[in-house]
Amino acid sequence: MTRTHFPFPTAFRVVAVVTALAALIAVSAATGSADPKDELQEARRARRDAQSQLAHAQDELSSIGVDLTEALQKLEEATGLIAARYAPERYEESTRR
């Protein structure tokens, strides 16, 4: 019987697999050793940051709403002035309703 020729010895393959497994275990142990209190503090900080961003966005939305209301009021006034100027009888009827 003939033996299969390996391009490099089997021992090197075994050493490579063992080294890879050891590195994988070391990485998982390092990430798994985080203190739960640290994780909790980080989660709370992230929540505070998110709440701060939400409050800022709500303030911007409120400001935009105020600007929009002012613009609509000016538009209604301008539209009323135009209607009163060019069709006073229609304008008076529409305001009586």
Residue 95 pLDDT > 70, yes or no?
no
Tell me how far apart the 2 most distant CA atoms of the chain are, in Å.
114
Q: What is the mean pLDDT of the chain?
A: 79
- Rounded to an integer, the average pLDDT of 67-76 is 89
- 80 band by pLDDT with thresholds 50, 70 and 90: confident
At residue 51, the pLDDT reads: 93
pLDDT (tens digit, 9 = 90+) per residue, 25-68? 887 766 656 677 888 898 999 999 999 999 999 999 999 999 99
Q: Identify which has the larger pLDDT, 97 or 59.
A: 59
CA 8 from chain center: how many Å?
51
**CA–CA gap between residue 30 and residue 27 (Å, rounded):** 5
Global pTM value: 0.46
Single-letter code of the amino acid located at 55: A
List of residues 6+ apart from 80 with CB closer than 8 A: 91
